[in-house]
Amino acid sequence: MLEEALDWKGDGLPPGALILIEDCVAAKGGFLLTFMLKKLLTSSAHGDGSFARTRVVFVAMAEPFSHYGRIAKKQGCNLLHCRDNGQLVFLDLMAAGNPLTSQVRGSTEQVSSPLQRLYQIVYGIVKKMKSHNASDRTVIMIDDASLLEISAGGKSDQVLSFLQYCRAIHTGNNRCSVVVLVHGDTDFRYGAAGLDSGGYGEQGGQTSSSLAQELDHIADVTISVDPLSTGLANDVHGQVTITHWSDVLSSRESRQGVQTLQFKLMENNTSFFHPGGCL
């Protein structure tokens, strides 16, 4: 169901695309990362020769590998196997020897910011990944951008530059695509004189830019995860709103613009359904 809403053909993400997952405290969006990771890895695993492989670089700052490994295993995808055969590179930035923090010691390199150092690492990994086919696609997944912002000392500009650099990496014929998770409620979006009071005129401009808002402007597709608007329910755990800002993931004819789906998280699966529909 989610694939339909995303108009995702299942053959990896389009090159250069930026998929933004925006969650909040009441509804965490981490499950979507696992969902997409599994889809990306398995869609290429059973493909025939003509099928382009998707390689994933996972930059983890929120959860360790064992967390994702366990969830993916329940859903029938062996991340260890994928990691061993080089399809998945897991960059665990929470482990000891975090390159972002240890870069102070490596004084030989001329880096101005921790994220530049991180970019160099990601760049090196992407370039080193074995490529069988020039049309192979590479996806960089980041969990999450809010923590990246913290490690950059609260400078959202650097996070945006980092993401842009990630999208611009050339592998074979294609650029990398990026899937990034960001918390939508950790920074305020509109000031006191927000859109409610000011409208769209000149008076409404008293806004402060935040990371999530900036990302919204550059994202191709935004998937926002919210709790159920009508309150808690046993059978529905929340809702996702998919917004196609550009046409990279959908043809114009089929583009719905905005679509809302509800989801239920189960032990070994996540099911999506239309609001009011059954499981």
Partner 1 sequence: MTEAVARQLRDGVAVGEQAPAVMVRDTLDTRAGPAISDHFFSSLCSNIEAARAQAKGLVAVALRRTPESYTVTSPFRKGNFKPGHWLQVVDCYTDPLGWNKVADPGKEDNSSQTDLPTQITVCHDVTNLTSLLAYVLDSGQAAVDNRATERFVVLIDSVSVLLRYHTLPALTSFLSALRSCGQVSAVLWLVHADLHESRVVASIEYLSTTVIHVEPQLQLPSEAKILNLRRGRIRVRTKKRNGRVREQVEEFFIELVGVNFSPVTLVKDMNPPTVMKTTTPKVQFNLDLSEKEREDRSKVILPFEHQGDGREAHIYDGRPDPVDSQFRKLGLSRNPSKDNDSQNLGSSQGVVGEIHYLRDSDDERPDSDEDPDDDLDI
3-state secondary structure of 108: coil
Half-sphere exposure of 69 (CA within 13 A, CB side): 13
User: What minimum distance in Å lies between the beta carbon of 11 and partner 1?
Assistant: 20
Q: Which residue, 95 or 168, has its beta carbon nearer to partner 1? A: 168
Q: Which residue, 33 or 176, has its beta carbon nearer to partner 1? A: 176
Q: Which residue, 27 or 111, has its beta carbon nearer to partner 1? A: 111
User: What minimum distance in Å lies between the beta carbon of 151 and partner 1?
Assistant: 16
Nearest in space to 129 (alpha carbons), one of 100, 91, 167, 171: 171
Q: CB-based burial of residue 231 (10 Å sphere; 0-12 exposed, 13-18 middle, 19+ buried)?
A: exposed
Q: At a CB cut-off of 8 Å and minimum separation 6, what does 9 contact?
A: none
User: What minimum distance in Å lies between the beta carbon of 237 and partner 1?
Assistant: 20
User: What minimum distance in Å lies between the beta carbon of 55 and partner 1?
Assistant: 18
- Residue 108 to residue 59: CA distance in whole angstroms: 24
Q: Which residue, 33 or 182, has its beta carbon nearer to partner 1? A: 182
Chain centre to alpha carbon of residue 94: 18
Residues at the contact surface with partner 1, assessed by CB under 8 A:
16, 109-111, 116, 119-120, 123-124, 127, 157, 160-161, 164-165, 168, 170, 175, 189-190, 194-196, 199-200, 202-209, 213-214, 216-218, 241, 243-246, 252-253, 255, 257-258, 260
